[in-house]
Amino acid sequence: MKRMKTNESTENYLETILILSQKLPVVRSVDIANELGFKKPSVSIAMKNLKEKNYITVMEQGYIFLTDSGREIAEMIYERHEFLTDWLTSLGVDAQIAAEDACRIEHVISKESFEAIKNHVKKV
């Protein structure tokens, strides 16, 4: 399935919503703002854009849920983040640096390259 073209900001927001939804009973804009260290108005604008792209639904109470397409992108980015962080750490990279580098790599690496790295690491 061809992935919809998304930008790094969109991917970060979707990944954050996914992570928060695993920790909190409900996710609200204020939770996202706190997690990312952004101001609430910035998050509100981003949520409006995500809603327009049908990546999230927002309930009357302000609760935010990923749609199927939003969840698909979030899970792909989260898998890349976790895998790349673990891989870099296993190579001897400091955990903090590994997480920061993984966060940058996860948005630019192609699906083909990521799968190749994953398959290679599994064999080793």
Q: Confidence class of residue 6 from pLDDT cuts 50, 70 and 90?
A: confident
Q: Which domain holds residue 34?
A: 8-72
pLDDT of amino acid 2: 42
Kindly report the three-state secondary structure assignment for every residue of 17-65: HHHHHHHCCCCCHHHHHHHHCCCHHHHHHHHHHHHHCCCEEECCCCCEE
Q: State the total domains in the chain.
A: 2
Question: Same domain for 83 and 99?
Answer: yes
Among 33, 53, 72, which residue terminates a domain?
72
Considering the domain architecture, whether residues 63 and 12 belong to the same structural domain is answered as yes
The per-residue pLDDT for range 68-108, each reduced to its tens digit, is 999 999 999 999 999 999 999 999 999 999 999 999 999 99
Encode pLDDT of 35-56 as tens digits: 999 999 999 999 999 999 999 9
